[in-house]
Amino acid sequence: MTAGSALWQTIFVSFALILIAFEIVRGWRLGLVRQLVRLLALAAAYGAGFFGGRLLLPLLRPFLRLPDFLISIAAGAILALIVYVAISTLGAILFKRTGEQSARVVRLVYGICGAVLGIFFGLFSVWLVVVAIRSTGAIASAEMRAPDPVEARSPGPPAARPRTLPNEPASMIQSLAKLKNSIELGPFGETVKAVDVVPAETYQILGKVGTLASNPRSAERFLSFPGARELTENPRIIALRDDPEIFELIQQQRYLELLQNPKLIEAMNDPALAAQVKRFEFQKALDYALGKR
């Protein structure tokens, strides 16, 4: 059900072409200078989001019950959005559109140059969509391939095992996995993989994380890895592991409430635990958990 589809790939390519065409028309209308301002706003927003997230952390911490690193990510995104909107708005106030230019030659140069920059913005937007689809699709595909935990643990012949209702994956997970496999299908998929600047190992790691999260046996092997064993012996980790409320939230997959749990926040904000996590060989632990020595 999640195999790549040529139809889905055609739909995605059509969407990408429409998005690029929209940006070309938009670039023609905005003109050269406003497009350059948009480019400047994009670069400034990236810098603000990357470096300025922690600046807003003290301001947002009282309002967001989340670990500090998640608040920093959210703060960086908010700051980047503010910077982008501010610079783009300033450019729209100070500089004219293509149609507002008085000379025909200037209008032509403005329009053509703006349209060329529109191609860049269109390709950039398509790339962001591709990265989002391939990232979430890698996790979804791994969850779809994971064996049923009941069957993996139930002893005896199939007839003697307790009958359980099939646990059908959510339609969203199926769609993400199918869409990811569709855009990676055939020559077009090879082109996507070749031009994507995100390393292929990143998607492989995400897929392994999806398998780990959906396979209890793999999770047990992950926790038995030497470095993971040291982490599980950390007093804060032991307190979380023995907390019935934490266990219930994980069992019921209430992850947002789990991230807002004060005990979890206190543990994730602990500098000593953070340093221990940084030393942890995550990639080797994943390979060990999935049986790859």
Token pair listed for 140: 């979804």
Judgement on whether residues 11 and 116 belong to the same structural domain of the protein: yes
User: Is residue 157 in a domain?
Assistant: no
154-159 long-range contacts, Cβ below 8 Å, gap at least 24?
Answer: none
User: Is residue 60 in a domain?
Assistant: yes
Judgement on whether residues 22 and 113 belong to the same structural domain of the protein: yes
Judgement on whether residues 114 and 204 belong to the same structural domain of the protein: no
Judgement on whether residues 69 and 12 belong to the same structural domain of the protein: yes
Mean pLDDT of 120-129: 93
User: Is residue 119 in a domain?
Assistant: yes
| CA dist., res. 38 & res. 145, Å (int) | 42
* 111 in Cβ contact with 98 (< 8 Å): yes
> 208-238, pLDDT tens digit by residue?
777 777 777 777 777 777 777 777 777 877 7
Domain that holds residue 250: 199-290
Judgement on whether residues 59 and 82 belong to the same structural domain of the protein: yes
User: Is residue 264 in a domain?
Assistant: yes
Q: In which band, very low, low, confident or very high, does the pLDDT at 146 lie, cut at 50, 70 and 90?
A: low
Residue 4 has pLDDT above 90, yes or no: no
User: Is residue 164 in a domain?
Assistant: no
Phi-psi region of 161 (alpha: psi -120 to 50; beta: other; left: phi over 0): beta
This prediction's pTM: 0.72
Q: Number of folded domains in the chain?
A: 2
Residue 162 has pLDDT above 80, yes or no: no
Domain boundary among 185, 210, 243: 185
Judgement on whether residues 224 and 180 belong to the same structural domain of the protein: no
| CA dist., res. 216 & res. 223, Å (int) | 11
Higher-scoring residue by pLDDT: 248, 100: 100
Judgement on whether residues 208 and 271 belong to the same structural domain of the protein: yes
Domain boundary among 163, 185, 207: 185
Judgement on whether residues 141 and 221 belong to the same structural domain of the protein: no
Q: Check residue 160 and give its pLDDT.
A: 43
DSSP single-letter state for residue 28: H
Judgement on whether residues 205 and 180 belong to the same structural domain of the protein: no
Q: Mean of the per-residue pLDDT values for the chain?
A: 80
Judgement on whether residues 180 and 203 belong to the same structural domain of the protein: no
Q: Check residue 161 and give its pLDDT.
A: 43
Judgement on whether residues 42 and 82 belong to the same structural domain of the protein: yes
Q: Lowest mean pLDDT of 18-27, 65-74, 162-171, 178-187, name the range.
A: 162-171
Judgement on whether residues 42 and 181 belong to the same structural domain of the protein: yes
